[in-house]
Amino acid sequence: MKLQKIVSRLQKLHPKEIDLSLDRIQSLCKKLGNPQDKIKAISIVGTNGKYSTIQAMFSILKEANLKCNIYTSPHIKNINERFIFNNEELNDEDLASLLEEIENANNKEPITFFEILTAAYFLKASQYPDNINLIESGLFFRFDATNILKNNLASVVTSIGLDHLDWLPESEQTVEKIIFEKTSSLLKSNIIVAKQTTKEITDNIKKTISNNGSNKFFHNENYSFITQENDFFYYEDKLGGIKLPMPNVKGKFQLENISTAIATLRSLKDLNIKDDYIKRGVLKINSIARLQEIKSGKLKELVKDHQLFVDGSHNPLGAKVLNEYLESLDCNKHVILGMMANKDHKKYMSFFKDIATLTTIDIPNQPNSINGKELKDKLDGFVNINYKKSIEEAIKSIPVKENDIILITGSLYLAGEVLNLN
């Protein structure tokens, strides 16, 4: 209860949820003694794959007996997920005390909620100067609150595509502008660039960071992977190749994220990441709401013997890689969809080529989501499309047959509701 009250107060310190600027976070961190200058960090920027790449790195680093702090956003089930220190999620009492300390230091100055959380993370992380910090950037990066580090170990650029366009002027709503926002201010250290959807995007990233003196590692140029039969895949970079077991997460896009994680950690020679750490780590990745199969719980009971997945993808790039996985399955796929109002709903669903039914729903507790009925009307090109008010109603209404799967997708907020409900 104490944590909820503090969070509620902090959310009222600024009229906007997002206000892109570095002034407020820099001022607050200065009051706190600039804790961000006392940590060893790997920064992760991009549109899709940031969380999955972080979780892959975390799993491998734990196998190497290295301690991590992790900062991600948004959270799925509870706010504590954003704060990992010494490999453990911060509990309610400690998080409440931390936020209270930040609140007192801020002294009621206008500041966004994300900026408060970022300052809190930096302060707590500075108490573990030897830990590796895995820090996910927020909306873009150039004016993101996480972009106040003076030094880092590496910057990871995951897959970049169109998202959050409503935060850009209409004339600048292009992938080139997003690439500039995400990569033009990367620090000089090591830059690892993941596989991109087109050569043009990769070339644009290269152009944007051409004057950055970092060591640069590009997918298919400096590191690569190929899938093999007999349940393994093969990773290779200038240090050599590793035959790896297929990871415990689904989808080829996860192999891309895992390979980027491996490339990042192997580029940091001081970490001394051995092949065995990687082999064990890829089997223990904890990836919440990223093509996650729900194997038990209340919602699983509703689908009985059928497979139930939840995925938080919410932009066209996410839909593309998700559909690639679905197309690899020889069965009927039933999609339950809920989305935020500011997303490109038609473009998102345009990637789903072979689904048996589509059921739109309302996202509970999210005033900025699109009503399920309105979403159904926008997607009237789908033949077997229905609307149901709740997640449970949607699941119960689907005419599943043997081997069919049900996928709930369209929003990380919806994914959080699904996991909490389950």
| Residues 6 or more apart whose Cβ sits within 8 Å of residue 112 | 13, 14, 16, 17, 18, 19, 24, 145
- Using pLDDT thresholds of 50, 70 and 90, give the confidence band for residue 21: confident
Instruction: Return the SS3 of 61.
Output: helix
pLDDT reading at 322 higher than 70: yes
- In whole angstroms, what is the distance from residue 23 CA to residue 14 CA? 14
Residue 183, classified by CB atoms within 10 Å of its CB into exposed (0-12), middle (13-18) or buried (19+), is buried
pLDDT reading at 25 higher than 70: yes
pLDDT reading at 172 higher than 70: no
pLDDT reading at 380 higher than 70: yes
CB 163, CB 174: distance < 8 Å: no
| Separation in Å, CA 105 to CA 3, 87, 190, 221, 298 | 17, 27, 34, 47, 43
pLDDT reading at 358 higher than 80: yes
- In whole angstroms, what is the distance from residue 89 CA to residue 108 CA? 27
Instruction: Return the SS3 of 283.
Output: coil
Region 365-391 average pLDDT: 93
Region 53-68 average pLDDT: 98
Region 293-310 average pLDDT: 94
pLDDT value, residue 138: 77
Q: Is the preceding peptide bond at 74 cis, omega within 30 degrees of 0?
A: yes
CB 189, CB 40: distance < 8 Å: no
| Residues 6 or more apart whose Cβ sits within 8 Å of residue 113 | 10, 11, 13, 14, 17
pLDDT reading at 163 higher than 90: no
What is the CATH superfamily name and number for domain 292-421?
Answer: Mur ligase, C-terminal domain (3.90.190.20)
Q: Which two tokens stand for residue 399?
A: 């005419």
Place of tokens 């089930």: 77
Dmax over CA atoms of the chain, in Å, equals 61
The DSSP symbol for 78 reads -
- Using pLDDT thresholds of 50, 70 and 90, give the confidence band for residue 166: low
- In whole angstroms, what is the distance from residue 386 CA to residue 357 CA? 8
- In whole angstroms, what is the distance from residue 375 CA to residue 345 CA? 8
pLDDT value, residue 382: 86
pLDDT value, residue 265: 98
In this predicted structure, which of 53-57, 74-78, 227-231 has the lowest mean pLDDT? 227-231
| Separation in Å, CA 137 to CA 38, 96, 167, 273, 396 | 18, 23, 15, 25, 38
pLDDT reading at 15 higher than 80: no
pLDDT reading at 205 higher than 90: yes
pLDDT reading at 332 higher than 90: yes
Q: Where are the domains of the chain?
A: 2-281, 292-421
pTM of the model: 0.93
pLDDT reading at 165 higher than 70: no
- In whole angstroms, what is the distance from residue 299 CA to residue 110 CA? 41
- Using pLDDT thresholds of 50, 70 and 90, give the confidence band for residue 135: very high
AA identity, residue 111:
I
In this predicted structure, which of 148-157, 160-169, 390-399, 402-411 has the lowest mean pLDDT? 160-169
pLDDT value, residue 411: 95
pLDDT value, residue 249: 94
Mean pLDDT of the chain: 93
pLDDT value, residue 168: 62
- In whole angstroms, what is the distance from residue 385 CA to residue 362 CA? 14
Point out which residues pair with 89 in neighbouring strands: 84
Instruction: Return the SS3 of 232.
Output: strand
pLDDT reading at 167 higher than 60: no
pLDDT reading at 389 higher than 90: yes
What is the CATH superfamily name and number for domain 2-281?
Answer: Mur-like, catalytic domain (3.40.1190.10)
pLDDT > 90 in the chain, percent: 84
Q: What are 239-277's pLDDT values in tens digits?
A: 999 999 999 998 889 999 999 999 999 999 999 999 999
- In whole angstroms, what is the distance from residue 56 CA to residue 107 CA? 38
